[in-house]
């Protein structure tokens, strides 16, 4: 039995796609997986911020075409790269257990946010990250910086910037977590929608592949991603808006926190909602959707 996996060619994309494929083959004995490497618009355009060249979906759309055309059976995405709506005919067949959703700071000195000199240059093209970072250190100079993880780490080492902000999950998946100078608390930096989670996408009418992928599903991560993406949809989320959300289980409760700022990063506002986490999966998903939408209405 063979499946074709569509993936980007960056080191991070390959690392997480291959790790997931290995898990899937452990679950299903006799399954073989071939890779189809796809170059997305986001990979080709590296000299401009995402919000200037089309926003969310730049790392996803070409891969979705490969799925719809039958050149691949499934794809492994970072949920944070996925637009609010999937292409018609596709489904998120599985969301496996989430890696750490937090962001990290990587600095030349090895120190954290507090150690950065006045006016230090921090590279990030994320409006979400720059808005929250400047709320903590208004003196910092944030400059646009695109590129894959390796490229951005090199920019720090070369002194192009004093620091960068990255997803901890990406560093962990690439075995580069030792590069992190400081893991930023979610009180300092709320993560991107779905950060740390993988979305496993396939054709909605492909019952065989859907069933195979579903064996890797993690219920708690599905609920969390549902809440965060509901918030994103409610505010019309895109790369043009600095927004963040995180759904967590706190004891017996579901806690959803969210942030929304103006397109220029100003007027960042935060809110949260808490409710008892239902034992029934259907009820938990419905509650997650409701809390996410409610937060969207409150902050929009």
Tokens standing for 204?
Answer: 């909605």
Domains 1-96+197-217 and 103-183 share a fold: yes
Q: Give the integer Cα–Cα distance in Å for 128 and 126.
A: 5
**pLDDT tens across the length of the chain (300 residues):** 899 999 999 999 999 999 999 999 999 999 999 999 998 665 554 544 554 444 556 678 899 999 999 999 999 999 999 988 899 999 999 999 999 999 999 999 999 999 999 999 999 989 999 999 999 999 999 999 988 899 999 999 999 999 999 999 999 999 999 999 999 999 999 999 999 999 999 999 999 999 999 999 999 999 999 999 999 999 987 667 899 999 999 999 999 999 999 888 888 999 999 999 999 999 999 999 999 999 999 998
Tokens standing for 93?
Answer: 């067949």
User: What residues does each domain of the chain span?
Assistant: 1-96+197-217, 103-183, 218-300
Query: Is 103-183 in CATH node 3.40.190.10?
Result: yes
* DSSP strands (E only) in 182-288: 182-183, 198-203, 243-250, 253-260, 269-276
User: Which numeric CATH code is attached to 1-96+197-217?
Assistant: 3.40.190.10
Architecture of domain 218-300: 2-Layer Sandwich (3.30)
Q: Is the dihedral of CA 35, 41, 43, 44 positive or negative?
A: positive
User: Would you put residue 30 in left (φ > 0), alpha (ψ -120 to 50) or beta?
Assistant: left
Residues in the chain: 300
Of the residues 47, 52, 73, 81, only one is catalytic, namely 81
* Residue 81 designated active-site: yes
């Amino acid at each position: 039995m063979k499946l074709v996996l569509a993936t980007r060619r960056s080191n991070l994309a390959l690392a997480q796609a291959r790790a997931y494929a290995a898990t899937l083959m452990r679950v299903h004995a006799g399954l073989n997986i071939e890779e189809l490497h796809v170059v997305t618009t986001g990979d080709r355009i590296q000299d401009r911020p995402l919000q200037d060249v089309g926003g969310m979906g730049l790392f996803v759309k070409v891969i979705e075409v490969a799925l719809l055309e039958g050149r691949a059976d499934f794809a492994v995405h970072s949920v944070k790269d996925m637009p609010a709506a999937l292409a018609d005919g596709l489904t998120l067949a599985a969301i496996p257990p989430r890696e750490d959703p937090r962001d990290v700071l990587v600095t030349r000195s090895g120190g954290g946010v507090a150690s950065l000199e006045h006016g230090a240059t921090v590279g990030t093209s994320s409006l979400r990250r720059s808005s929250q970072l400047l709320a903590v250190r208004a003196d910092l100079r944030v400059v646009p910086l695109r590129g894959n993880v390796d490229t951005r780490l090199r920019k720090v080492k070369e002194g192009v910037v004093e620091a960068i902000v990255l997803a901890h999950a990406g560093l962990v998946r690439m075995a580069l977590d030792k590069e992190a100078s400081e893991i930023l608390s979610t009180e300092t930096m709320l993560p991107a929608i779905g950060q740390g989670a993988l979305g496993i996408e396939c054709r909605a009418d492909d019952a065989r592949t859907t069933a195979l992928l579903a064996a890797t599903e993690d219920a708690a991560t599905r609920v969390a991603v549902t809440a965060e993406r509901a918030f994103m949809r409610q505010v019309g989320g895109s790369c043009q808006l600095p927004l963040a959300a995180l759904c967590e289980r706190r004891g017996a409760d579901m806690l959803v926190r969210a942030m929304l700022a103006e397109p220029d990063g100003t007027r960042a506002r935060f809110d949260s909602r808490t409710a008892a986490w239902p034992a029934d999966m259907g009820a938990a998903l419905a509650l997650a959707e409701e809390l996410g939408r409610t937060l969207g209405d409150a902050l929009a």
